Structure 1
Amino acid sequence: MKNNTIYIKNVVCGRCITTIQGILDNLDIPYDKVSLGEALLLRALSSEEKIQLATELKKSGFELLQSKNQRIINHIKSVLIGEVSNSTDQKKLSEILSEELHYEYSHITNLFTAAEGQSIQSYFNKLKIEKAKELLEYDELSISEIAYQLGFSTAAYLSTSFKKQTGITPSAYKKMQIKGRKGLDAV
């Protein structure tokens, strides 16, 4: 079977995958598999189908990716969001990305920085702070436990990073009535 993979921006969770599957079903586009950032179709799309798909994806906050660099950037973001959401691996970020994308880390980081205007580490730290906000809102874990879960060496380092990015401490954030949290795909 010919590779009929399409790449989709902002597919970052299970609900996103379900939404993409629904869009493909509604447009009668047969697919084998939908995963983070991509869908393996069972056939090539006509020009008209591509336009329809792009339109429907846009309505739900997704976007078809065209260039190789866009696809790599999207893949990097998907891997990073996965790491923040399910961090059980204590490997270095550079190792994780190199293994996942099959590129040298220097290439990956240069590409990402040029496209996004920030380093991979800076983006990853922003993701971790957004995840920390989520965990603080749940109010089930202590700041030390959140720090450990997100890979910060200490609660103090989490607090310093949190304050640097948000202007307030995690404790102050926890007490706020109106929270300022973004979805990880919006970072």
Structure 2
Amino acid sequence: MSKLFIKNMVCNRCIMVVQNEMDKLGIGTSHIKLGEVTLDRELSDAERKALDNALTDVGFELIDDRKSRIIEQIKTAIIELVHHRESDNKYNLSEVLSHALNHDYSYLSNLFSEVEGTTIEKYFIAQKIEKVKELLVYDELTLSEIAYRLNYSSVAYLSNQFKKVTGLTPSHFKKIKEDKRKPLDKV
């Protein structure tokens, strides 16, 4: 068994697309998760090149160097934490990342900043704001429930951070999105 690391996998649909590309090429997998594929066997150079080309065509990229793999693992861990976690438990980002990647947080933080040109914290905040936008558009939760679900200490803190990132208050963002939607009978 061997592992491949793939850049730009962010959702379950990405997993399905990667699985589909692997199946087309006859490459057996034992497990696929965001950013990582466990293969049944080692790939030949020709198979690896074909896979790399197929993945590139659908917006993904094989990652070869160690630093890029770590960066992608950081992003994947944050995406899973923000977008795919159902638990409302409080968590400490530095502890979650250190535990998930088996590295000291200061090393991860410095590497991420060096390679990405932004901090892990800013990336994390950007992901949280994207999740807030998604939840606002779905209109199933109150702002207070959204704040609780995403571990904000208060609605005011969420609102301030949202405005700092988007330039809009959550209620103004929601109103803009509602104004753009047409009623079904007008479609």
Shift in Å at residue 158 of structure 1? 0.7
What's the C-alpha RMSD, in Å, of the aligned pairs?
1.3
Shift in Å at residue 33 of structure 1? 1.1
Equivalent residue, structure 1, for 2:10? 12
Shift in Å at residue 161 of structure 1? 0.5
Specify the SS of the correspondent of 2:31.
strand
Shift in Å at residue 27 of structure 1? 0.4
Specify the SS of the correspondent of 1:127.
helix
Equivalent residue, structure 1, for 2:130? 130
Give the AA of the match of 1:151: N
Counterpart-to-counterpart distance in 1, 2:7 and 2:15: 11
Shift in Å at residue 12 of structure 1? 2.1
Counterpart-to-counterpart distance in 1, 2:158 and 2:56: 35
Shift in Å at residue 54 of structure 1? 1.1
Q: Which structure is richer in relative contact order (CA contacts within 8 A, separation 6 or more)?
A: 1
- Structure 2 gap ranges (5+): 182-187
Specify the SS of the correspondent of 1:160.
helix
Indicate how the Cα distance of structure 1 residues 121 and 178 shifts in structure 2: closer, same or farther if over 3 A, else same: farther
Shift in Å at residue 91 of structure 1? 2.0
Specify the SS of the correspondent of 1:125.
helix
Give a deviation string over 1:12-46, Cα, whole Å, max 9, x none: 22221111111100001111111111111112212
Contact 1:136 1:174 (8 Å CA) reproduced: yes
Equivalent residue, structure 2, for 1:185? none
Give a deviation string over 1:40-81, Cα, whole Å, max 9, x none: 111221222112111111122111011001100000001000
| TM-score, normalised via structure 1 length | 0.90
Shift in Å at residue 87 of structure 1? 5.5
Counterpart-to-counterpart distance in 2, 1:12 and 1:130: 13
Q: How many residues align?
A: 177
| TM-score, normalised via structure 2 length | 0.90
Kindly, what percent of the aligned residue pairs are identical? Answer: 46
Give the AA of the match of 2:33: S
- Structure 1 gap ranges (5+): 180-187
